[in-house]
Amino acid sequence: MKAVIQRVSQSSVTINNEIVAQIQQGLLVLVGIEDADNQEDINWLTSKIANLRIFADENEVMNMSLKDIDGEMIVVSQFTLHALTKKGNRPSYIKASKPEIAIPLYESFVQQIEIELGKKVQTGQFGADMKVSLVNDGPVTIIIDTKNKE
């Protein structure tokens, strides 16, 4: 499971010209799922994201988590995070899970991050053509792969 975590001052997801998710200060999390992913990956990743200390404290030091600042979150599924680009110029998405595997894992990820944060998170729509807008605050962008926990 791969995640791209972006600290944002605002973000939104639009589908068919309708805003389906919108937040102010918080995190936009793009999640890519592969067949080898399981509940252990979800538990580890959601805990890591919820507790990442990437928000400024009173001394302007990145020392606070999303939980500490009571920030908001949008989670968006993104199979392209598993693009293979080694050969040729057209990415291969063979490592990305098919919907029958990915959807239950994505839904479990959303449920677990809500438990970690103690609040609802907003989401895009799995498989939809989404327009994702954000103002990256910092910029702060972090990539985490559960297959590389070092």
* 85 is a catalytic site residue: no
Is residue 65 within 8 Å of residue 53, measured between CB atoms?
yes
Catalytic residue among 14, 46, 80, 85: 80
Structure tokens at 70: 């009571």
CA–CA gap between residue 23 and residue 73 (Å, rounded): 7
Is residue 79 within 8 Å of residue 32, measured between CB atoms?
yes
Residues designated as active site: 80
